[in-house]
Structure formats: structure tokens, C-alpha cells
Structure 1
């Protein structure tokens, strides 16, 4: 009997770099759905329409100067400085690139998931992109749930009838995947 690469639901290192994981169809479907939702949430940002057509314009495209109104987006794109003027300037020149990177990372995850499973093999670059997307998904879900350090232990003890339970289960599962991938990349 051939040995399957990767323990179910846990990342394993690949010789030469990267990682592998075995996911069932339901897990792949959930992860893909969450990544697509993240793409929709992150969106293109406030980049000028003509900047997509002109590479030089892309270099000088200015982004938003205020934090997003959506709490999840504000968590994904926090202010870099407490001072309003410095934070606005920094955001104006970095948020569009940060949005683009988050989209690229989520798309990389979707491409691997679409390539087929149950055994998924990630290159080193793909593993780093997955790590970024797993982190973004956890931050988004955690924000939607209102997770704080003080209340994190409560999540493990929600009654089955609590309407937050499915989202909490996804949050905890993503945390396990993220931890497993970090440990694998550090080996």
C-alpha cells in the first residue's frame, strides 16, 4: 500500500521545501468558499480605473487615506501610525499594494484547491501565500465574531444551538491549519 503524503488535516514538509496536506472534499469546499469570500471582501480597493492599463500609473496610484468602515477590513488594513496625518499618508501609498497581495495570496490558495485533492502539495511560495490567506481569514472571522483575548476561551464552550457555532468551528479549524503550516515551514 502506497503511503499518502501528509496527515489528514495537518501540513507536512516536502523534501526541497514547501508543504503538503490531505483534505477531504468538504474541507476543500469550505476553504475555497472562504477564500472566495475573502477576495470579495478585499475587493480592488480605491485604485483609479486607468492605473490597471498603465504600468507607470500603477507605480504612482494613490490609495485611500482613511481606514475602511467595515471592521473586518479595518482589521486587515490597520493604521500603521497613531498620528492621523502619518497614518493617512502611509495608507495612501501602501493599501492598494497590500490589497493586491492579499488577492494574489487568496487566488494562489484557490488555484491549489481547484487543481484537485485530496493531497495538496504547496511550493514554498504557495505555502507562504496560504499562510497569509489563513491569517487573513482568521482575522476576518475573529472580527466578525468579536473575538478578544479575554473571550477566546469561551469559543470552545459554545452550546451547539448557538448561531455563532459554525463560524467558531471554522475559526478554530483555520487556526489549527495556520499553526500546522507555521510549524511545517519552521522545520
Structure 2
């Protein structure tokens, strides 16, 4: 892949077939996880009547989904009061559907604009923002799965099962970084 670069109002890069497959595959996996979470939303009559959707009131059990869909209100374990758990659950229930829509929406933009066989990718400003958000979600998910820490070396021993995936994580970091640079001009 060449660096992202600006061409007028657009940002452009060229992905080879394998790079496009990696981007599309990882974004599709994240989108599938998020859509599965959206299907866990409770069905209630008030939601059907008003059109106001509610989501699950409990955080996801899956570590990756938990990283992508963090609590909207974190409890201070030393100082929380009665009812704090209820307010955290209510906030999640109210806001998670919109967050899921946003995250699956940016994933859809990437899948629509990333050519399956590789090739040039040309993004307008809104599409570039969607790519940045979707790449961030993929990096968060992959970083969680690999247990990436600040003090983690750039390369792991070959016998470490995370080693090949860490390379993908670093590549995605570079893709996102060059996209940010191109968007910033």
C-alpha cells in the first residue's frame, strides 16, 4: 500500500488485493459482532409505538465488544451510591443503539469504498472520517484480542501465537496514521 495522499478534496491510496482483503475482512468481522449485539436489544411495545429504540442494559460479556461499547457511566467503586447501577444501565439502554448504528454505518462505508480485488480508494471528507472511525474500531478490537500494552515490543517471538497478528495491528496503525495526515492536509 502506498501512503494516503490528498488529491483535491479527496484522499487517495492504492490497496493491493491482499491489503483490501485484510481491511474488508476485519471490518466485516467487527460489523458482524456489532450487528449481533444489536439483535440482543429487548423488544418492547413502547419502543415499537414511539420508534425510540432501547438497547441491552448490561455491558457485553465479550471483551472485544466491551472495548467497542464501553460503559456510558463508570462507577467509582469506592464512592458509588445506591441507584448508580440503575443509571449506568439506563444510559447504556438509551445510547447503545445509536452507537451501534454509527459503528455499523462507518463499517458499511469502508466496505462500500474498499474494492474487493484491490485498487484505488478515493474518499471524500465524510468517507475519510468513516474510514478513520472504522479503522479505529478494528485496531481497538485487535489490540484487545492481542492484549496490546504500552510496553509491548514491536515484534514478538516467532513462537508467540500473537506474532503475525501484531504485524497486522502495526500495519493498520500506519494506515490510520497516514490517513490522518492526508485528511489534515
TM-score by length of 2: 0.84
Distance 1:101 1:36, change over 3 A: same
Q: Give unpaired runs (5+ residues) of structure 1.
A: 1-7
The alpha-carbon deviation at position 39 of structure 1 amounts to 1.1
For structure 1, which segment, 106-115 or 140-149, has the greater mean C-alpha deviation from structure 2 after superposition?
A: 106-115
What residue is the counterpart of 2:160 in the other structure?
A: 162
Question: Is the Cα contact below 8 Å between 1:21 and 1:119 reproduced in 2?
Answer: yes
Provide the aligned C-alpha RMSD in A: 2.2
Hey, what's the Cα distance between the residues in 2 that align with 1:137 and 1:92?
Answer: 24
Q: Give unpaired runs (5+ residues) of structure 2.
A: 76-84
Q: Deviations over 1:5-42 (max 9, x none)?
A: xxx331111312x3111111110111111111111111
1:150 is the counterpart of 2:142: no
Q: Deviations over 1:65-97 (max 9, x none)?
A: 111000000000111222333322211111111
Question: Is the Cα contact below 8 Å between 2:21 and 2:116 reproduced in 1?
Answer: no
Distance 1:47 1:57, change over 3 A: farther
Hey, what's the Cα distance between the residues in 1 that align with 2:155 and 2:116?
Answer: 36
Hey, what's the Cα distance between the residues in 1 that align with 2:44 and 2:123?
Answer: 34
What residue is the counterpart of 1:89 in the other structure?
A: 90
Question: Is the Cα contact below 8 Å between 1:50 and 1:57 reproduced in 2?
Answer: no
What residue is the counterpart of 2:5 in the other structure?
A: 12
Hey, what's the Cα distance between the residues in 1 that align with 2:165 and 2:113?
Answer: 23
Hey, what's the Cα distance between the residues in 1 that align with 2:93 and 2:74?
Answer: 15
What residue is the counterpart of 2:19 in the other structure?
A: 27
Determine helix, strand or coil for the equivalent of 2:137. Answer: helix
The alpha-carbon deviation at position 120 of structure 1 amounts to 0.8
Distance 1:65 1:19, change over 3 A: same
Hey, what's the Cα distance between the residues in 2 that align with 1:97 and 1:163?
Answer: 36
What residue is the counterpart of 1:4 in the other structure?
A: none
The alpha-carbon deviation at position 147 of structure 1 amounts to 1.3
Determine helix, strand or coil for the equivalent of 2:114. Answer: helix
The number of residue pairs the alignment matches comes to 173
Q: Deviations over 1:100-143 (max 9, x none)?
A: 11111111101111376411101111101100100000000000
